Chains A and B, each alone.
Chain A
């Protein structure tokens, strides 16, 4: 079962000031509590997200705007990996205590090297494209009939955390429009042109 924490408990768990967490929420680095008001509760989502923020901000020295930009485009596994980095860094006892001071500084410089953001390449096939190509090959081009489920919802992803959901079957042209809207929103959210 997913844990539910108060703001104070979340701050204590992560050794982070509640006001810092609130400011991250205000800056859209993570979403607010699941339930608002006095009974506000925070979940594993917040723990992971805050640990990833710690890793990007404190250990890679990135400004908050850049942290936000990276979080918008990050994948689930990348987020988990960053969160682990933040969690390890939070607990001094769990860091390796071997090696010279020079080794430590070098490893810190290595981990702190800002990563270049991936270059946008619209022409590159996505992993989903590859799966579809493989399935087409397996079925020798005989596309299966799409089954109706009474109510159809179409999801158009914007970022790993945000999507547009549209009720009802969409034509290819409509889908193309939704995808263009998603592209605009993604650009806006990520501070692009």
Chain B
């Protein structure tokens, strides 16, 4: 595992309140993968509420059939559908030829009707996988939940679902999600995937369900590190937040950030915005950064050597004169922009246009000042300026979802698994707006 930790600028103003960005980069070159591929223990949880009737449910079933075709004797599959009730179609079925036949047959019984009790369906899927974990330890355990709507029964708070997803992830049962169409609850499905150590996908058109589920299966097979965790030990008076919004907890003098799972050859950049207290000129403000992870199917926790990074208190003139690290500044600006845009999307969805404009008016000058030292800073700033022009209008929900998923992919270094790549996010945000409100 290759791990780097560096500040975008190392000097901080001795009178306090300097903000610097600590970039922790984790890459798994994939050289020391487990010798043999592990069996999979997967649950596919399919929304079968009334709105899924027709093509969405048809393609969800096709995705399940395709998945069954890709699984082998050592894999287990559970299929659960949920509307107001939960139905088990197959339960931790070994994917032998007989098991595959039973699973394929059971898919024919999925019917669309009723409401959306997402939590009940998802938890039932996790329960089947958890039962499989008891008997098959050396496996990769994953739940993939497919939904096109808003959970309106059971646990509906994204924070509560995130909590359970995180707790299950700590126990090595990971969750991914697929949002179908334009009316799914992105907040809920993102929360399950981000906190559950998996990936969130969007299938805007029904046939894309098959593409993203197939890609997800390939990703699970390529996973080489799970529970990748960055722990940052810091000096008193420091305040830290994760700009990507990876799950972060704080305990006394350390922050613990959960980066989820990592596939061979993949990287994650966790970017921490740090506000410093005052200090004596020339004194150091030290940070100790340690990354740990587990290999799929193994109990051991691996850890890189702790990395020691310092920021140094300096006079104003020295602080202002220091150079920017252009590649780190670029990485920060990309994620910072995603952080801003994500908030604007949510405000637009809630109809809080004036607040969106006020927020952009606050953020744009700060962002622009920082991003001018990044290679694509001018482009990023211009995009935000265009966003400012569009912020007073109601956007189409499909556009909001496209922008949101583009920002998700950028924040968490994920690729879009859809074959037809979507337009640039800014095209969605600006061209596809409804007329100004009266």
User: Which chain A residues lie closer than 8 Å to B153 at the CB level?
Assistant: 61
Q: Digit string of B119-132 for contact with A (CB within 8 Å is 1, else 0)? A: 10001001101110
Please indicate which of the listed interface residues A15, A97, A105 has the most CB atoms of chain B within 10 Å of its own CB.
A105
Is the CB of B308 closer than 8 A to any CB of chain A?
Answer: no
Which residues 147-183 in B have Cβ within 8 Å of A in the complex? Answer: 153-157, 159-160, 163-164, 166-168, 170-173
A16 to B159, CA, bound (A): 9
The one of A89, A102, A112 in contact with B130, judged by C-beta atoms closer than 8 angstroms, is: A102
Whether B249 is near chain A, meaning CB under 8 Å from some CB there, is: yes
- CB pair B251 A100 closer than 8 Å: no
Kindly state the interface size class of chain B when it binds its partner. 20 to 34
Residues of A within 8 A of B250 (CB): 93
Interface centre among A57, A92, A101, A108 (most CB of B within 10 A): A101
Tell me the dominant secondary structure on chain A's binding face.
helix
Question: Contacting A102 at CB < 8 Å: which of B131, B157, B251, B256?
Answer: B131
Give B241-259 as 1s and 0s: 1 = Cβ < 8 Å from A's Cβ atoms: 0000001011100001000
Contact with B along A101-124 (1 / 0, CB 8 A): 110110011001000000000000
- Which residues of B have CB within 8 Å of A57? 157
- Closest chain B residue to A16 by CB distance? B159
Contact call B133/A100, Cβ cutoff below 8 A: yes
Within 8 A of B (CB), among A18-60: 19, 54, 57-59
Q: How far is the CB of B122 from chain A (nearest CB, A)?
A: 11
Asked if residues B130 and A101 are in contact (CB atoms below 8 Å), the reply is yes
What's the nearest-Cβ distance from chain B to residue A96, in Å?
Answer: 9
A-B contact count (CB 8 A): 66
Interchain CB contact (< 8 A) of A59 among B155, B170, B173, B251: B155
Write the nearest CB–CB distance from B37 to chain A, whole angstroms. 22
- Which residues of A lie under 8 Å from residue B156 when comparing CB positions? 58, 61
A58-B133 contact given A92-B163, A95-B167, A108-B164, CB 8 Å threshold: no
The one of B123, B155, B249, B350 that contacts A92, using a Cβ cutoff of 8 Å? B249
Contact in complex: A101, B173 (CB < 8 Å): yes
Which chain A positions have C-beta within 8 A of B154? Answer: 61
Q: With A61-B119, A89-B160 given, is the CB distance from A104 to B155 under 8 Å? A: no
B201 touches A (CB below 8 Å): no
Measured CB to CB, the closest approach of chain A to B348, in angstroms, equals 15
> In the bound complex, what is the Cα–Cα distance between A99 and B173 (angstroms)?
12
A92 CB to nearest chain B CB (Å): 5
A26→B147 CA distance, assembly (Å): 31
Given A15-B159, A89-B163, A92-B249, verify A97-B133 contact (CB < 8 Å).
no
B162 to chain A, nearest CB (A): 8
Whether A105 lies near B127 (C-beta < 8 A) is yes
Inter-chain CA distance A95–B165, complex, in Å, is 13
What residues on B are CB-neighbors of A92 within 8 Å?
163, 166-167, 247, 249
Contact of A93 among B159, B172, B249 (CB under 8 A): B249
Q: How many angstroms from the CA of A105 to the CA of B168 in the assembled complex?
A: 8
Residues of A within 8 A of B11 (CB): none
Tell me, in angstroms, the Cα distance from A3 to B400 when the chains sit together. 40
Residues of A within 8 A of B155 (CB): 58-59, 61, 112
Q: Indicate if the CB atoms of B159 and A101 lie closer than 8 Å.
A: no
Q: Knowing that A92-B247, A93-B256 are A-B contacts, what are 18 other residue pairs whose CB atoms are under 8 Å apart, sorted by A's residue number?
A: A57-B157, A58-B156, A61-B155, A89-B160, A92-B167, A93-B249, A93-B250, A97-B170, A99-B171, A101-B130, A101-B133, A101-B173, A102-B131, A104-B130, A104-B171, A108-B123, A108-B164, A109-B123
- Would you list 19 pairs from A and B whose C-beta atoms are within 8 A, ordered by A residue? A58-B157, A61-B154, A61-B155, A92-B163, A92-B167, A93-B250, A93-B251, A95-B163, A95-B167, A97-B170, A100-B130, A100-B133, A101-B171, A102-B130, A102-B133, A102-B134, A105-B123, A108-B164, A112-B155
